[in-house]
Protein backbone atom coordinates (compact mmCIF):
# COMPACT_ATOMS: atom_id res chain seq x y z
CA UNK A 1 0.00 0.00 0.00
CA UNK A 2 1.12 3.53 -0.80
CA UNK A 3 1.30 5.73 2.24
CA UNK A 4 2.41 9.19 3.26
CA UNK A 5 4.97 9.88 5.93
CA UNK A 6 2.40 11.51 8.18
CA UNK A 7 0.10 8.50 8.02
CA UNK A 8 2.99 6.20 8.86
CA UNK A 9 4.28 8.24 11.76
CA UNK A 10 0.85 8.79 13.23
CA UNK A 11 0.17 5.09 13.37
CA UNK A 12 -2.38 4.66 10.58
CA UNK A 13 -0.58 1.47 9.58
CA UNK A 14 0.04 -1.41 11.90
CA UNK A 15 3.33 -3.05 12.68
CA UNK A 16 4.06 -5.82 10.21
CA UNK A 17 2.17 -4.21 7.31
CA UNK A 18 4.08 -3.83 4.05
CA UNK A 19 4.02 -0.27 2.77
CA UNK A 20 5.45 1.91 0.01
CA UNK A 21 6.66 5.44 0.73
CA UNK A 22 7.61 7.94 -1.96
CA UNK A 23 9.63 11.00 -1.13
CA UNK A 24 13.05 12.61 -1.00
CA UNK A 25 16.13 11.72 0.98
CA UNK A 26 16.84 14.11 3.81
CA UNK A 27 19.92 12.34 5.16
CA UNK A 28 21.72 9.01 4.93
CA UNK A 29 23.90 7.38 7.53
CA UNK A 30 25.74 4.06 7.18
CA UNK A 31 26.70 1.79 10.03
CA UNK A 32 29.73 -0.44 10.10
CA UNK A 33 27.44 -3.42 10.43
CA UNK A 34 26.32 -3.01 6.82
CA UNK A 35 23.08 -1.19 7.44
CA UNK A 36 22.11 2.24 6.12
CA UNK A 37 19.61 4.58 7.67
CA UNK A 38 17.84 6.72 5.11
CA UNK A 39 15.54 9.48 6.30
CA UNK A 40 12.79 10.21 3.77
CA UNK A 41 10.43 13.19 3.80
CA UNK A 42 7.43 13.92 1.60
CA UNK A 43 6.28 17.23 3.07
CA UNK A 44 3.16 15.76 4.68
CA UNK A 45 4.57 16.58 8.11
CA UNK A 46 7.73 18.00 9.64
CA UNK A 47 9.43 14.70 10.36
CA UNK A 48 11.03 12.27 7.98
CA UNK A 49 10.51 8.52 8.25
CA UNK A 50 13.58 6.42 8.82
CA UNK A 51 14.13 3.48 6.51
CA UNK A 52 16.52 0.81 7.76
CA UNK A 53 18.23 -0.60 4.68
CA UNK A 54 20.25 -3.83 4.94
CA UNK A 55 23.24 -4.47 2.67
CA UNK A 56 21.52 -7.62 1.46
CA UNK A 57 19.48 -5.51 -0.99
CA UNK A 58 20.56 -6.27 -4.54
CA UNK A 59 21.06 -2.57 -5.31
CA UNK A 60 22.73 -1.68 -2.00
CA UNK A 61 25.53 -0.06 -4.02
CA UNK A 62 22.99 2.51 -5.16
CA UNK A 63 21.78 3.09 -1.63
CA UNK A 64 25.33 3.98 -0.67
CA UNK A 65 25.29 6.71 -3.32
CA UNK A 66 22.05 8.35 -2.10
CA UNK A 67 22.43 12.00 -1.17
CA UNK A 68 20.10 14.69 0.14
CA UNK A 69 17.42 15.50 -2.40
CA UNK A 70 17.35 12.19 -4.31
CA UNK A 71 13.82 10.96 -4.91
CA UNK A 72 13.09 7.39 -3.86
CA UNK A 73 10.41 4.81 -3.37
CA UNK A 74 10.94 2.63 -0.32
CA UNK A 75 9.13 -0.65 0.17
CA UNK A 76 9.21 -2.41 3.49
CA UNK A 77 7.58 -3.49 6.67
CA UNK A 78 6.38 -1.12 9.38
CA UNK A 79 8.31 -1.80 12.58
CA UNK A 80 8.43 -0.15 15.96
CA UNK A 81 11.36 2.21 16.19
CA UNK A 82 13.83 1.32 18.92
CA UNK A 83 15.26 4.83 18.81
CA UNK A 84 13.86 7.87 20.55
CA UNK A 85 11.66 10.43 18.89
CA UNK A 86 9.59 8.39 16.53
CA UNK A 87 7.28 5.48 17.08
CA UNK A 88 7.74 3.75 13.73
CA UNK A 89 10.28 3.12 11.02
CA UNK A 90 10.48 0.98 7.90
CA UNK A 91 12.49 -2.18 7.57
CA UNK A 92 13.25 -1.78 3.89
CA UNK A 93 13.00 -4.67 1.46
CA UNK A 94 13.37 -2.45 -1.61
CA UNK A 95 14.77 0.97 -2.43
CA UNK A 96 14.04 2.30 -5.88
CA UNK A 97 15.89 5.44 -6.88
CA UNK A 98 13.53 7.59 -8.93
CA UNK A 99 15.75 10.63 -9.49
CA UNK A 100 19.38 11.25 -8.64
CA UNK A 101 20.79 14.60 -7.59
CA UNK A 102 23.08 15.44 -10.46
CA UNK A 103 25.96 16.99 -8.64
CA UNK A 104 25.59 16.57 -4.88
CA UNK A 105 28.54 18.87 -4.15
CA UNK A 106 26.84 21.82 -5.78
CA UNK A 107 23.23 20.98 -4.79
CA UNK A 108 22.15 24.22 -3.12
CA UNK A 109 19.85 22.56 -0.58
CA UNK A 110 22.43 20.32 1.08
CA UNK A 111 21.33 19.19 4.54
CA UNK A 112 22.69 22.06 6.61
CA UNK A 113 21.47 25.37 7.93
CA UNK A 114 21.08 28.03 5.29
CA UNK A 115 20.46 31.71 5.83
CA UNK A 116 17.00 32.97 4.87
CA UNK A 117 18.68 35.36 2.42
CA UNK A 118 20.34 32.44 0.66
CA UNK A 119 17.07 30.53 0.56
CA UNK A 120 15.25 33.54 -0.90
CA UNK A 121 17.64 33.46 -3.85
CA UNK A 122 16.63 29.85 -4.46
CA UNK A 123 12.88 30.25 -4.13
CA UNK A 124 12.27 27.26 -6.40
CA UNK A 125 14.27 24.92 -4.19
CA UNK A 126 13.65 26.37 -0.74
CA UNK A 127 10.36 24.49 -0.10
CA UNK A 128 12.61 21.43 0.27
CA UNK A 129 14.10 22.76 3.47
CA UNK A 130 12.68 22.00 6.92
CA UNK A 131 12.12 25.69 7.46
CA UNK A 132 10.21 26.65 4.34
CA UNK A 133 8.30 23.36 4.36
CA UNK A 134 7.11 24.18 7.87
CA UNK A 135 6.11 27.70 6.79
CA UNK A 136 4.10 26.27 3.89
CA UNK A 137 2.20 23.86 6.13
CA UNK A 138 1.46 26.51 8.75
CA UNK A 139 0.35 28.95 6.04
CA UNK A 140 -2.03 26.33 4.66
CA UNK A 141 -3.38 25.49 8.08
CA UNK A 142 -4.09 29.18 8.79
CA UNK A 143 -5.85 29.69 5.45
CA UNK A 144 -8.00 26.59 5.91
CA UNK A 145 -8.89 27.65 9.45
CA UNK A 146 -9.94 31.09 8.23
CA UNK A 147 -12.28 29.57 5.67
CA UNK A 148 -13.64 27.17 8.31
CA UNK A 149 -14.20 29.98 10.79
CA UNK A 150 -16.31 32.00 8.38
CA UNK A 151 -18.08 29.01 6.90
CA UNK A 152 -19.16 27.82 10.35
CA UNK A 153 -20.60 31.25 11.06
CA UNK A 154 -22.61 31.43 7.85
CA UNK A 155 -20.42 33.87 5.94
CA UNK A 156 -20.42 33.68 2.14
CA UNK A 157 -17.04 33.71 0.45
CA UNK A 158 -17.15 36.21 -2.40
CA UNK A 159 -14.53 36.40 -5.14
CA UNK A 160 -13.70 40.04 -5.78
CA UNK A 161 -11.85 41.20 -8.89
CA UNK A 162 -8.14 41.75 -9.22
CA UNK A 163 -8.41 44.22 -12.10
CA UNK A 164 -10.26 47.33 -11.02
CA UNK A 165 -10.65 51.06 -11.57
CA UNK A 166 -11.04 51.89 -7.86
CA UNK A 167 -8.28 53.04 -5.55
CA UNK A 168 -9.94 51.79 -2.38
CA UNK A 169 -7.39 53.14 0.06
CA UNK A 170 -6.91 56.35 -1.94
CA UNK A 171 -3.17 56.19 -1.41
CA UNK A 172 -2.22 56.23 -5.07
CA UNK A 173 -0.26 52.99 -4.70
CA UNK A 174 -1.75 51.15 -7.65
CA UNK A 175 -0.09 49.08 -10.35
CA UNK A 176 -1.40 49.98 -13.76
CA UNK A 177 -2.85 47.25 -15.96
CA UNK A 178 -2.24 47.87 -19.61
CA UNK A 179 -3.13 46.35 -22.93
CA UNK A 180 -0.94 48.88 -24.70
CA UNK A 181 0.77 47.57 -27.75
CA UNK A 182 4.41 47.79 -26.70
CA UNK A 183 5.59 47.77 -30.32
CA UNK A 184 3.71 50.94 -31.03
CA UNK A 185 4.49 52.95 -27.93
CA UNK A 186 5.31 56.58 -28.69
CA UNK A 187 9.01 57.00 -29.43
CA UNK A 188 9.50 60.46 -28.01
CA UNK A 189 8.40 62.53 -25.06
CA UNK A 190 6.06 64.71 -27.05
CA UNK A 191 3.66 61.85 -27.71
CA UNK A 192 2.32 61.16 -24.25
CA UNK A 193 0.76 57.74 -23.69
CA UNK A 194 -2.99 57.95 -23.15
CA UNK A 195 -3.34 55.86 -20.03
CA UNK A 196 -7.03 56.64 -19.67
CA UNK A 197 -7.62 54.15 -22.49
CA UNK A 198 -5.07 51.54 -21.63
CA UNK A 199 -7.18 48.56 -20.53
CA UNK A 200 -9.41 47.90 -23.54
CA UNK A 201 -10.43 51.53 -23.38
CA UNK A 202 -10.63 52.00 -19.60
CA UNK A 203 -7.93 53.05 -17.16
CA UNK A 204 -7.38 50.09 -14.83
CA UNK A 205 -5.22 48.86 -11.99
CA UNK A 206 -4.46 45.87 -9.79
CA UNK A 207 -6.67 45.98 -6.72
CA UNK A 208 -5.34 47.21 -3.37
CA UNK A 209 -8.32 45.72 -1.51
CA UNK A 210 -11.51 43.83 -2.29
CA UNK A 211 -13.47 45.84 0.24
CA UNK A 212 -15.64 48.04 -1.98
CA UNK A 213 -16.74 45.04 -4.00
CA UNK A 214 -17.30 43.02 -0.82
CA UNK A 215 -19.55 45.80 0.47
CA UNK A 216 -21.91 45.31 -2.47
CA UNK A 217 -22.38 41.67 -1.50
CA UNK A 218 -22.64 42.40 2.22
CA UNK A 219 -25.49 44.78 1.37
CA UNK A 220 -27.36 41.79 -0.05
CA UNK A 221 -26.07 38.64 1.65
CA UNK A 222 -25.38 40.25 5.05
CA UNK A 223 -22.20 38.37 6.01
CA UNK A 224 -19.47 37.90 3.42
CA UNK A 225 -15.71 37.78 3.12
CA UNK A 226 -13.15 37.90 0.39
CA UNK A 227 -9.71 36.30 0.49
CA UNK A 228 -7.28 36.80 -2.33
CA UNK A 229 -4.20 38.55 -3.64
CA UNK A 230 -3.94 42.34 -3.38
CA UNK A 231 -1.27 44.70 -4.63
CA UNK A 232 0.45 47.82 -3.37
CA UNK A 233 2.89 49.80 -5.47
CA UNK A 234 4.61 51.26 -2.45
CA UNK A 235 8.33 51.36 -2.80
CA UNK A 236 8.98 50.31 0.77
CA UNK A 237 11.75 47.89 1.51
CA UNK A 238 10.70 46.69 4.92
CA UNK A 239 10.33 43.32 6.56
CA UNK A 240 6.54 43.70 6.71
CA UNK A 241 5.59 45.02 3.28
CA UNK A 242 5.09 43.15 0.04
CA UNK A 243 4.03 44.47 -3.36
CA UNK A 244 1.75 41.44 -3.70
CA UNK A 245 0.14 40.02 -0.58
CA UNK A 246 -2.98 38.12 0.38
CA UNK A 247 -5.74 39.82 2.28
CA UNK A 248 -8.77 38.37 4.02
CA UNK A 249 -11.62 40.86 4.34
CA UNK A 250 -14.95 40.18 6.06
CA UNK A 251 -17.77 42.65 5.47
CA UNK A 252 -20.84 42.59 7.69
CA UNK A 253 -24.19 44.33 7.29
CA UNK A 254 -25.97 45.66 10.39
CA UNK A 255 -22.64 45.65 12.24
CA UNK A 256 -20.79 48.50 13.89
CA UNK A 257 -17.12 48.94 14.69
CA UNK A 258 -17.35 47.09 18.01
CA UNK A 259 -19.01 44.14 16.30
CA UNK A 260 -16.17 43.69 13.85
CA UNK A 261 -13.53 44.31 16.53
CA UNK A 262 -15.08 41.36 18.37
CA UNK A 263 -15.16 39.36 15.14
CA UNK A 264 -11.46 40.03 14.59
CA UNK A 265 -10.65 38.82 18.09
CA UNK A 266 -12.73 35.64 17.73
CA UNK A 267 -11.25 34.89 14.34
CA UNK A 268 -7.63 35.32 15.40
CA UNK A 269 -8.14 33.16 18.47
CA UNK A 270 -9.88 30.49 16.40
CA UNK A 271 -7.10 30.25 13.82
CA UNK A 272 -4.34 30.27 16.44
CA UNK A 273 -6.02 27.40 18.24
CA UNK A 274 -6.36 25.53 14.97
CA UNK A 275 -2.71 25.93 14.04
CA UNK A 276 -1.53 24.83 17.48
CA UNK A 277 -3.69 21.73 17.18
CA UNK A 278 -2.92 20.87 13.59
CA UNK A 279 0.70 21.86 13.30
CA UNK A 280 2.21 21.05 16.64
CA UNK A 281 5.21 19.56 14.85
CA UNK A 282 6.01 22.67 12.84
CA UNK A 283 5.25 25.01 15.73
CA UNK A 284 7.67 23.10 17.95
CA UNK A 285 10.31 23.59 15.29
CA UNK A 286 9.64 27.35 15.07
CA UNK A 287 9.85 27.59 18.85
CA UNK A 288 13.16 25.79 18.85
CA UNK A 289 14.79 27.45 15.87
CA UNK A 290 13.16 30.81 15.10
CA UNK A 291 11.28 32.32 18.01
CA UNK A 292 11.34 30.88 21.51
CA UNK A 293 7.93 32.36 22.30
CA UNK A 294 6.28 31.06 19.11
CA UNK A 295 3.93 28.73 20.95
CA UNK A 296 3.62 30.46 24.30
CA UNK A 297 2.69 33.80 22.78
CA UNK A 298 -0.09 32.22 20.75
CA UNK A 299 -1.36 30.54 23.89
CA UNK A 300 -1.33 33.81 25.76
CA UNK A 301 -2.98 35.55 22.80
CA UNK A 302 -5.79 32.99 22.93
CA UNK A 303 -6.32 33.25 26.68
CA UNK A 304 -6.31 37.06 27.03
CA UNK A 305 -8.94 39.60 26.13
CA UNK A 306 -7.70 42.13 23.61
CA UNK A 307 -7.03 45.56 25.01
CA UNK A 308 -9.11 48.37 23.52
CA UNK A 309 -8.00 51.98 23.35
CA UNK A 310 -9.08 55.10 21.56
CA UNK A 311 -6.53 56.64 19.22
CA UNK A 312 -6.65 59.83 21.28
CA UNK A 313 -5.80 57.92 24.47
CA UNK A 314 -3.13 55.91 22.67
CA UNK A 315 -1.40 59.14 21.65
CA UNK A 316 -1.56 60.27 25.27
CA UNK A 317 0.03 56.98 26.38
CA UNK A 318 2.86 57.43 23.89
CA UNK A 319 3.42 61.02 25.01
CA UNK A 320 3.47 59.98 28.67
CA UNK A 321 5.80 57.05 28.00
CA UNK A 322 8.92 59.16 28.27
CA UNK A 323 10.20 57.22 25.29
CA UNK A 324 12.15 58.97 22.52
CA UNK A 325 10.62 57.72 19.29
CA UNK A 326 12.21 58.21 15.89
CA UNK A 327 9.01 59.83 14.70
CA UNK A 328 7.60 62.49 17.01
CA UNK A 329 4.24 61.84 18.59
CA UNK A 330 1.36 64.26 18.38
CA UNK A 331 -2.41 63.99 17.83
CA UNK A 332 -2.99 63.49 14.12
CA UNK A 333 0.04 61.36 13.23
CA UNK A 334 -0.25 58.12 11.36
CA UNK A 335 1.42 55.90 13.94
CA UNK A 336 4.47 54.04 12.72
CA UNK A 337 5.47 50.56 13.73
CA UNK A 338 7.63 51.72 16.65
CA UNK A 339 4.55 53.38 18.18
CA UNK A 340 2.33 50.39 17.49
CA UNK A 341 4.82 48.00 18.98
CA UNK A 342 5.29 50.11 22.06
CA UNK A 343 1.55 50.02 22.70
CA UNK A 344 1.17 46.26 22.17
CA UNK A 345 4.45 45.03 23.62
CA UNK A 346 5.29 47.40 26.41
CA UNK A 347 2.18 49.20 27.48
CA UNK A 348 -0.70 46.75 27.11
CA UNK A 349 1.44 43.61 26.81
CA UNK A 350 -1.43 42.18 24.78
CA UNK A 351 -3.00 42.51 21.36
CA UNK A 352 -4.66 45.91 21.24
CA UNK A 353 -7.45 47.38 19.16
CA UNK A 354 -6.91 51.09 18.51
CA UNK A 355 -10.13 52.85 17.53
CA UNK A 356 -11.40 56.16 16.22
CA UNK A 357 -8.53 57.58 14.23
CA UNK A 358 -8.27 61.17 12.94
CA UNK A 359 -10.32 61.40 9.77
CA UNK A 360 -7.58 63.23 7.90
CA UNK A 361 -5.27 60.21 7.83
CA UNK A 362 -7.93 57.69 6.87
CA UNK A 363 -9.72 56.58 3.72
CA UNK A 364 -12.78 58.29 2.21
CA UNK A 365 -15.24 55.48 3.01
CA UNK A 366 -14.87 55.48 6.80
CA UNK A 367 -17.81 56.53 8.93
CA UNK A 368 -17.50 59.94 10.56
CA UNK A 369 -17.88 60.17 14.29
CA UNK A 370 -19.98 62.86 15.93
CA UNK A 371 -16.89 64.77 17.12
CA UNK A 372 -16.24 65.80 13.51
CA UNK A 373 -12.55 64.97 13.90
CA UNK A 374 -12.38 61.19 13.95
CA UNK A 375 -13.72 58.24 12.00
CA UNK A 376 -14.87 54.82 13.19
CA UNK A 377 -11.67 53.06 12.14
CA UNK A 378 -9.71 50.40 13.96
CA UNK A 379 -6.33 48.73 13.74
CA UNK A 380 -5.46 45.53 15.56
CA UNK A 381 -1.87 45.64 16.77
CA UNK A 382 -0.10 42.43 17.71
CA UNK A 383 2.91 42.32 20.00
CA UNK A 384 5.96 41.56 17.91
CA UNK A 385 4.62 42.81 14.63
CA UNK A 386 2.39 45.87 14.97
CA UNK A 387 -0.59 46.36 12.64
CA UNK A 388 -2.02 43.07 11.50
CA UNK A 389 -5.61 44.14 10.81
CA UNK A 390 -7.09 47.41 9.59
CA UNK A 391 -10.82 48.01 9.43
CA UNK A 392 -13.70 50.40 9.92
CA UNK A 393 -17.38 51.08 9.99
CA UNK A 394 -18.34 52.37 6.56
CA UNK A 395 -20.11 55.68 5.94
CA UNK A 396 -23.65 54.59 5.11
CA UNK A 397 -25.24 58.07 5.11
CA UNK A 398 -25.39 59.38 1.55
CA UNK A 399 -25.22 63.11 2.38
CA UNK A 400 -22.27 62.64 4.70
CA UNK A 401 -20.53 60.44 2.15
CA UNK A 402 -21.09 62.94 -0.67
CA UNK A 403 -19.75 65.78 1.43
CA UNK A 404 -16.66 63.75 2.15
CA UNK A 405 -16.10 62.96 -1.53
CA UNK A 406 -16.37 66.61 -2.38
CA UNK A 407 -14.01 67.63 0.40
CA UNK A 408 -11.45 65.12 -0.86
CA UNK A 409 -11.82 66.28 -4.45
CA UNK A 410 -13.14 62.90 -5.55
CA UNK A 411 -15.56 62.52 -8.41
CA UNK A 412 -19.15 61.49 -7.57
CA UNK A 413 -19.60 59.80 -10.94
CA UNK A 414 -16.64 57.49 -10.28
CA UNK A 415 -18.43 56.21 -7.18
CA UNK A 416 -21.94 55.95 -8.58
CA UNK A 417 -22.25 52.21 -7.96
CA UNK A 418 -20.86 52.62 -4.44
CA UNK A 419 -23.29 55.48 -3.80
CA UNK A 420 -26.17 53.27 -4.95
CA UNK A 421 -25.59 51.09 -1.87
CA UNK A 422 -26.35 54.25 0.14
CA UNK A 423 -29.35 55.16 -2.02
CA UNK A 424 -31.20 51.86 -1.99
CA UNK A 425 -31.80 50.32 1.41
CA UNK A 426 -28.64 51.58 3.07
CA UNK A 427 -27.56 49.85 6.29
CA UNK A 428 -24.78 50.38 8.79
CA UNK A 429 -22.00 47.97 7.89
CA UNK A 430 -18.42 47.31 8.86
CA UNK A 431 -15.46 45.16 7.98
CA UNK A 432 -11.73 44.77 8.14
CA UNK A 433 -8.72 43.45 6.28
CA UNK A 434 -6.25 40.96 7.69
CA UNK A 435 -2.83 40.95 6.04
CA UNK A 436 -2.39 37.22 5.61
CA UNK A 437 1.40 37.26 5.41
CA UNK A 438 1.59 39.44 8.54
CA UNK A 439 -0.42 36.70 10.24
CA UNK A 440 1.90 33.95 9.01
CA UNK A 441 4.94 35.99 10.09
CA UNK A 442 3.48 36.45 13.51
CA UNK A 443 2.61 32.79 13.98
CA UNK A 444 5.91 31.39 12.74
CA UNK A 445 8.13 34.12 14.15
CA UNK A 446 9.71 34.54 10.72
CA UNK A 447 11.01 38.08 10.87
CA UNK A 448 10.91 38.86 7.16
CA UNK A 449 7.56 38.76 5.40
CA UNK A 450 9.31 37.63 2.20
CA UNK A 451 9.92 34.25 3.77
CA UNK A 452 6.29 33.42 4.44
CA UNK A 453 4.97 33.71 0.86
CA UNK A 454 6.26 31.24 -1.72
CA UNK A 455 7.35 33.80 -4.31
CA UNK A 456 7.71 37.25 -2.77
CA UNK A 457 7.08 40.35 -4.84
CA UNK A 458 8.87 43.42 -3.57
CA UNK A 459 10.98 46.19 -5.10
CA UNK A 460 13.63 44.53 -7.27
CA UNK A 461 12.18 41.11 -6.50
CA UNK A 462 9.92 39.55 -9.11
CA UNK A 463 11.80 36.46 -10.21
CA UNK A 464 10.08 33.21 -11.12
Q: Is residue 318 a contact point for ligand 4AD (CB under 6 A)?
A: no
Q: Is residue 435 within the footprint of Mg ion (CB under 5 A)?
A: no
Minimum distance from CB of 139 to ligand 4AD (Å)? 14
Residue 327 CA to residue 334 CA, distance in Å, equals: 10
Using an 8 Å Cβ cutoff, are 93 and 58 in contact? no
Binding track, positions 248-277, relative to ligand 4AD; x by CB under 6 A: -x----------------------------
Among the listed residues 28, 128, 139, 241, the single contact to ligand 4AD using CB under 6 A: 241
Query: Is residue 168 a contact point for ligand 4AD (CB under 6 A)?
Result: yes
Q: How far is the CB of 335 from ligand 4AD (least distance, A)?
A: 12
Between 109 and 354, name the residue whose CB sits nearer to Mg ion: 354
Q: Determine if 169 is a binding residue for ligand 4AD (CB under 6 A).
A: yes
Decide: 218 and 186 in contact? Cβ < 8 Å: no
* Contact in structure between 33 and 51 (CB atoms under 8 Å): no
β-bridge mates for residue 248, sequence order: 227, 434
CB 128 within 8 A of CB 69: yes
Residue 209's binding partner among Mg ion, ligand 4AD, none (Cβ under 5 to 8 angstroms by kind) is ligand 4AD
Residue 339 contact partner, candidates Mg ion, ligand 4AD, none, CB within 5 to 8 A by sort of partner? none
CA distance 382 to 341: 8
Name the minimum Å distance from CB 308 to ligand 4AD.
17
Closest to ligand 4AD by CB, 4 or 168: 168
Q: Which stretch binds ligand 4AD (CB under 6 A): 146-154, 315-323, 367-375, 430-438?
A: 430-438
CB of 451 to ligand 4AD, least distance (A): 13
Is residue 445 a contact point for ligand 4AD (CB under 6 A)? Answer: no
219 binds, among Mg ion, ligand 4AD, none (CB under 5 to 8 A by kind): none
User: Closest approach of Cβ 28 to ligand 4AD, in Å?
Assistant: 40
* Closer CB to ligand 4AD, 42 or 169, in the complex: 169
Q: Which does 51 bind (CB under 5 to 8 A by kind): ligand 4AD, Mg ion, none?
A: none
To the nearest whole angstrom, how small is the minimum distance from the Cβ of residue 200 to ligand 4AD? 26
Interaction partner, residue 291 (ligand 4AD, Mg ion, none; CB < 5-8 Å by kind): none
Q: Which of residues 364-403 bind ligand 4AD (CB under 6 A)?
A: 387-392
| Interface with Mg ion in residues 374-413 (CB under 5 A) | 390
Q: Determine, following the binding rule CB under 6 A, whether residue 211 of this chain makes contact with ligand 4AD.
A: yes
CB distance 344 to 383 below 8 Å: yes
Interface residues with ligand 4AD (CB under 6 A) are 168-169, 209, 211, 232, 234, 241-242, 245, 247, 249, 387-392, 431-433, 435, 437-438
Amino acid sequence: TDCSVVDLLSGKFSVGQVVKVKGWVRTRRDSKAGISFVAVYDGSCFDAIQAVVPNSLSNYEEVLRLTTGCSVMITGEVVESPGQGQAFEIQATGVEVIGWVEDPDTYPMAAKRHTVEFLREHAHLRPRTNLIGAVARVRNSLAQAIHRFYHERGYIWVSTPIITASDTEGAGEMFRVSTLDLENLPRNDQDAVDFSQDFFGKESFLTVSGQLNAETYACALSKVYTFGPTFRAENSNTSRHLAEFWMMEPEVAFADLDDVAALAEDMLKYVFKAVLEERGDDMAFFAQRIEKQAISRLESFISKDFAQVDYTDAIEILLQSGRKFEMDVSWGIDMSSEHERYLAEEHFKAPVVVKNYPRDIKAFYMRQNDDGKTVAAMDVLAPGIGEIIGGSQREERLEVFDARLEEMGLNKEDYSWYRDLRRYGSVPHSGFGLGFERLVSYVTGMSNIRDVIPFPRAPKQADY
